[in-house]
Amino acid sequence: DFHPQSICRDNIILLTVMCLSSARQLTVQMMQNPQILAALQERLDGLNGSPSGYMESLPKVVKRRVNALKNLQVKCAHIEAKFYEEVHELERKYAALYQPLFDKRSDIVKAAYEPTDEECEWKADEEEELTVSKQDEMKEKAKLEEEKKDEEKEDPKGIPEFWLTVFKNVDLLSDMLQEHDEPILKHLQDIKVKFSDPGQPMSFTLEFHFEPNDFFTNTVLTKTYKMRSEPDENDPFSFDGPEIMCCTGCTIDWTKGKNVTLKTIKKKQKHKGRGTVRTVTKTVPNDSFFNFFTPPEVPENGELDEDSEAVLAADFEIGHFIRERIVPRAVLYFTGEAIEDDDDDYDEEGEEADDEVKHLWPQ
């Protein structure tokens, strides 16, 4: 079946991320195996039309016309960029239609709104009830009444730990999660996606809305992803839709002593002359989900060290995933229903990626 969405963005960005990380692996393999290197070089030569190339063998007048075709191709890339701008506009338009539903979701989660009986009816519940035998039904009833009493005692508000549970259920996010992050994420009440305004450079912002808490004074933490949606002048044929170029976080106003992105360590220092030893305390970065809000900066020259590059590649994937999957279908990640589907998606993307490779290296 046809998923225009995934054609427009999903695959493209994920493929970009995948290429970033797999290119390095490939290089390593190639370096280690001269035969692979030679075979690849031959195929690439075939593609470039260099030494053994077909292009070289063409008469000058034909080569000239091929250049004209390439110029047409550049124009196509610019039209494609316009296409993606319109996709972005459509997304903005539809975001406004989804928003009231997401707001209601948030109100139910944070107990600002109690859904009616009618709103709480769900078909699957009835089916389940029908399948239990009479005896089980009695037990179930007793159990439910007990649970009801428990609930009245604890009186849970809304849906406790909704977003924290979502985070724990998604590998991509739970990998970043540290134990000391969990008490903080219990206060997360909503994640919103905001698109850039028309006429502005293309970007989207993830807003993490928190209830008042002991950890920091911010009520909203933000992460903005800037996209490039036009062909690169120097390499127009590589254009394949919008790409995340860089991202910016925000300053978290941690309450004193609550900064989980820092830890203090004690270090022994030896005095050079006297040989005496003293203990000094140093603060060093600590693993935390909240490092998500201080991503590595891309320097002016655009060159990053390997670590930062890897952090950013993972970061872009996470940002994209939150926007594209988590925010639109949060409840299904809370219940776990969306998780199997995602595995399927990844398989599909893997297969597509393989196809892509085959196309790049013609037989």
Ligand X SMILES: *[C@@H]1O[C@H](CO)[C@@H](O)[C@H](O)[C@H]1NC(C)=O
| Among the residue ranges 121-129, 206-214, 260-268, 341-349, the one whose residues contact ligand X (CB under 6 A) | 260-268
Q: Does the footprint of ligand X cover residue 224 (CB under 6 A)?
A: no
Q: How far is Cα 322 from Cα 191, in angstroms, rounded to an integer?
A: 9
CA-to-CA distance for 131 and 348, rounded, in angstroms?
35
Q: How many residues bind ligand X (CB under 6 A)?
A: 11
265 touching ligand X, by CB under 6 A: no
Which of 14, 173, 185, 260 touches ligand X by CB under 6 A? 260
Which helix (H) or strand (E) segment holds residue 141: the answer is helix 134-154
| Minimum distance from residue 42 beta carbon to ligand X (Å) | 49
Under rule CB under 6 A, residue 259 binds ligand X: yes
Taking CA atoms, 86 is separated from 9, 61, 229, in Å, by 13, 39, 11
- When asked if residue 178 is in the footprint of ligand X (CB under 6 A), the reply is yes
322 is an interface residue for ligand X by CB under 6 A? no
As measured in angstroms, the least distance from the Cβ of 265 to ligand X is: 10
- Binding string, 284-303, against ligand X, x = CB under 6 A? -xxx----------------
Cα 330 to Cα 123: distance, rounded to the nearest angstrom: 19
If binding is defined by CB under 6 A, does position 213 make contact with ligand X? no
CB atoms within 10 A of CB 236: 18
Among 43, 92, 168, 180, binds ligand X (CB under 6 A): 180
Chain-centroid distance of CA 266 in Å reads 36
CA angle 60, 65, 71 (to 5 degrees): 130
- Asked if 261 touches ligand X (CB under 6 A), the answer is yes
Of 11-19, 63-71, 280-288, 338-346: span binding ligand X (CB under 6 A): 280-288
What residues have CB less than 8 Å from 287, skipping those under 6 apart?
178
- Where does this chain touch ligand X (CB under 6 A) — which range of 8-16, 75-83, 257-265, 350-358? 257-265
* Contact between 26 and ligand X per CB under 6 A: no
Region for residue 27 given its phi and psi (left: phi exceeds 0; alpha: psi -120 to 50; beta: otherwise): alpha
Give 191's strand partners.
208
Q: Residue 336 and residue 330: Cα distance in Å, rounded?
A: 10
Counting contacts by CB under 6 A, is residue 262 touching ligand X? yes
Residue of 18, 30, 230, 254 interacting with ligand X (CB under 6 A) = 254
Which residues are near ligand X by CB under 6 A?
178, 180, 254, 259-263, 285-287
